[in-house]
A and B are shown apart, each in its own frame.
Chain A
Amino acid sequence: MTYHFDFGVLLPYWSQLLNGCALTLWLGAISTLIGLSIGLLTVIAKRSRFAALRAVATGYIEAIRNTPFLVQVFFIFFGLPTVGIALQPWPAAIAALSLNLGAFSAEIIRGGIEAVPRGQFEAGAALGLSPFKTFRYIVIKPALRTIFPALSGQFVLLLLTTSIVSSISAEELTSVAQNIDSATFRSFEVYIVTTLLYLAMSMLFAVMFKAIARVWFSYPTK
């Protein structure tokens, strides 16, 4: 091996890299908020009485789940301006990430609601609770408990997916890394460090979500 590693050249860029991490986390947080809202609406549509609404929800879920994120981003960023919807890189990235998470979280949320036994809804009704109160006091906690691991996994996945929006030059950790790469020409070192930063972020969240699950959802079920 004749290659000489030189991580020293990256030292002046540490604040840029940290800034990239912050941007990535922001992107993840905003997209999660919007994406979960879209997911919830999609579940409501999917469980609606109207066949047309159900069909739209199913079409949306399947279209997103069966096409690559990269094509979705390109479609939104390069395609939509030709029909008059021109978005800057960051809004386009948020739109793509939210729509992506919306479809994946819809399936998870639906699974959680369907996993709560019908008897629980009926018991709520028998106690004279309104449908909303039944949902609020009986259904929501076990449903959340069921979907929490999958949902938190989906969040980490979203955080990793944000790296792809660097391809439309939206600013986040990977695009910061690409800028440093073109300034220093130490590609391998730059991307090793960047990859480890992603690893640190995803492991941090994995640990955090596990702790949250232990505190909130560790009540006995039997």
Chain B
Amino acid sequence: MSGFPIPPNRKPTLIREFGWAEVWTIVLGIQATIVLSLVAFTGGGIGGLLVAVARTAPVRSLRALAGGFIDFFQGTPMLLQLFLVFYGLPVLGLKVNVWVAAAVGLTLHASAFLGEIWRGGIQAVPGGQSEAAHALGLNYFARMRFVVLPQALRLSFAPTVGFLVQLIKGTSLAAIIGFVELSRAAQLVSSITYKPLLAFGFAGLCYFTICFPLSRMSARFEKRYSIKT
């Protein structure tokens, strides 16, 4: 590097100030965090519904399968789940893309957790509801679609929002496999400005601004209708 001329108006250093460009880097990171959270929450919502229905299905093998899926994701670290997807995609012959790996990993994770939360909701709906629907001649799908699930999902609203907070915080782990979101952006800014306290403090504040209102909302709903999950 000694051959490079140093411009006279620049200090001969690689350390940058913590300026607007750095703030902007972190703000762009927030965007990625939110998009990743929404993708995982949507995907996990669909997957979770399937898991919850399978977990309460009248077919024993289906219940066991869903149970195993839930136990695996609740009993292993989220970081390792991301690693497995990240290093597992090439095993399946697919190209690795951190975006896809993070989205797939978080979606699977969310499917298991939302599945377990909604399983609790489904079982909290009084059995008479399902029996009454049965007596009215509704088949299994109609009973689930029109009678059980609407009540179950409403009962599960508080823990669902609570899990969304977990998921948003969990997206930070995508930073470790190299996906540039809020935490990774803060890491980059920290290493070019040498102001880690400011960078990570600011990143923490950003997460807090997103998560705190959601936590409050979850707590408010929990008081209104509390159920065991």
**Residue B3, interface by CB 8 Å:** no
Tell me which of B72, B75, B90 has the highest count of chain A C-beta atoms within 10 A of its own C-beta. B75
Q: A2-B93, A71-B186, A71-B203 are in contact. Are A65 and B215 (CB under 8 A)?
A: yes
The contact of B77 among A2, A66, A78, A174, by CB within 8 Å, is: A174
Q: Mark B73-111, 1 if CB is under 8 A from A, else 0.
A: 011111111011001101111000000000000000000
Question: Is there contact, CB below 8 Å, between B77 and A188?
Answer: no
* Count of A interface residues, CB-CB < 8 Å: 41
How far, in whole Å, are A194 and B162 apart by their CA atoms in the complex? 28
**Residue B153, interface by CB 8 Å:** no
Residues of chain B lying within 8 A (CB to CB) of residue A192? 84
Residues of chain A lying within 8 A (CB to CB) of residue B225? none
- How far, in Å, is B44 (CB) from chain A's closest CB? 17
The contact of A194 among B72, B80, B183, by CB within 8 Å, is: B80
How far, in whole Å, are A114 and B132 apart by their CA atoms in the complex? 38
How far, in whole Å, are A69 and B207 apart by their CA atoms in the complex? 11
Q: A66-B207, A195-B80 are in contact. Are A188 and B200 (CB under 8 A)?
A: no
**Residue B156, interface by CB 8 Å:** no
Chain B residue, CB-CB nearest to A163: B77
Question: Is there contact, CB below 8 Å, between A82 and B75?
Answer: no
**Residue A131, interface by CB 8 Å:** no
Instruction: Tell me the interface secondary structure of chain B in the complex.
Output: helix
Question: Is there contact, CB below 8 Å, between A82 and B196?
Answer: yes
**B153-178: which residues lie under 8 A (CB-CB) from chain A?**
165, 169-173, 175-176
How far, in whole Å, are A8 and B201 apart by their CA atoms in the complex? 44
Residues of chain B lying within 8 A (CB to CB) of residue A69? 169, 172
Question: Is there contact, CB below 8 Å, between B76 and A66?
Answer: no
Chain A residue, CB-CB nearest to B165: A66
Chain A residue, CB-CB nearest to B198: A79
Question: Is there contact, CB below 8 Å, between B197 and A79?
Answer: yes
- How far, in Å, is B82 (CB) from chain A's closest CB? 10
Question: Is there contact, CB below 8 Å, between B84 and A161?
Answer: no
**Residue B63, interface by CB 8 Å:** no
Closest 5 CB pairs of A and B: A68-B172, A163-B77, A78-B196, A79-B197, A66-B211
Q: Which residues of A contact B (CB under 8 A)?
A: 1-3, 62-63, 65-72, 74-75, 78-83, 156, 160-164, 166-167, 174, 187-188, 191-192, 194-195, 198-199, 202-203, 206
Q: Which residues of B contact A (CB under 8 A)?
A: 71-72, 74-81, 83-84, 87-88, 90-93, 165, 169-173, 175-176, 183, 186-187, 190, 195-197, 199-201, 203-204, 207-208, 211-212, 215
* Given A75-B201, A195-B76, 8 more pairs with CB closer than 8 A: A69-B172, A74-B196, A75-B197, A82-B195, A161-B77, A174-B77, A188-B90, A192-B84
